Amino acid sequence: MKTTAVIETGPDGGFDIFLPDIDSALFFGDGDTVQEAKEDLQNSYQEVLSVYQEEGIPVPEELRDLEFEYKYDIGSFFNEYNWINISALAKVLGMNRSLLYQYKKGNTYISHQQMKRIEKGVHELGRKLLEFSVK
């Protein structure tokens, strides 16, 4: 079963991953990098399954064969892909550069509509990059 795993920048500058749609168990991942946080989440998941097995308790349906679908908040996206030039991206997106910096830092509210606008722009940029080839 697929479930959303939200990646956020933690207060220590590392990365935290939480599962907003899982109710039957509380587990999460954290690490200095996104990869470390993903590995920690996977380990936490295995530990939860082990506890159910050791206690002889049936594993809840929502925890069976979990696949994590990772999603970033805006700040953690820019922290993970820190090589993206915010000023250049703002220009491509037709956004105010200062506002995009504020979103990156988490200093201002970002609406769902604005997040989708950034996501769409990054995806369009990715498609353009896939067209690149050398001869």
Three-state helix/strand/coil letters over 75-127: HHHHHHCCCCCHHHHHHHHCCCHHHHHHHHHCCCCCCHHHHHHHHHHHHHHHH
Considering the domain architecture, whether residues 93 and 120 belong to the same structural domain is answered as: yes
Considering the domain architecture, whether residues 68 and 89 belong to the same structural domain is answered as: no
Average pLDDT, the chain: 92
Positions in the chain short of pLDDT 70: none
Of 72, 101, 121, which residue constitutes the final position of a domain? 72
Q: Residue 1 in contact with residue 69, Cβ under 8 Å?
A: no
Give the model's pLDDT for residue 75. Answer: 87
Give the model's pLDDT for residue 106. Answer: 83
Give the model's pLDDT for residue 53. Answer: 93
Q: What are phi and psi of 96, to 5 degrees?
A: -70, 125
Of 72, 95, 110, which residue constitutes the final position of a domain? 72
Considering the domain architecture, whether residues 48 and 90 belong to the same structural domain is answered as: no
Task: Name the residue range of residue 116's domain.
Answer: 84-130
Considering the domain architecture, whether residues 42 and 90 belong to the same structural domain is answered as: no
Give the model's pLDDT for residue 59. Answer: 92
**If phi over 0 gives left and psi between -120 and 50 gives alpha, with beta otherwise, what is residue 94?**
left
Give the model's pLDDT for residue 51. Answer: 94
